[in-house]
Amino acid sequence: MTRHPHHAVPSRAHAVHAGFSLVELMIAVAIIGVLASIAMPLFAQYQLRSKSTEVKANLSAIRVAEEAVFGESGTYLGAAAEPPTIPGPTAASFDGVGSEFAELGWTPEGKVYFSYAIEVSADATGYTADAGADIDDDGILQIWGYAKPDALGARVAGGIGCDVTLLDPEVVGSCVASRSIY
Q: What is the mean pLDDT of residues 42-66?
A: 86
Per-residue pLDDT band for 20 (boundaries 50, 70, 90) equals confident
CB contact at 8 A, 158 and 145: yes
The pLDDT of residue 179:
47
Three-state SS string over 87-99 comes to: CCCCCECCCCCCC
Rounded Cα–Cα distance for residues 81 and 84 (Å): 5
Per-residue pLDDT band for 22 (boundaries 50, 70, 90) equals confident
Residue 63 confidence (pLDDT) above 80: yes
* pTM of structure: 0.75
At 66-101, the pLDDT tens digits run: 999 999 999 999 999 999 998 888 899 998 888 899
At 111-142, the pLDDT tens digits run: 999 999 999 999 999 999 999 999 888 888 89
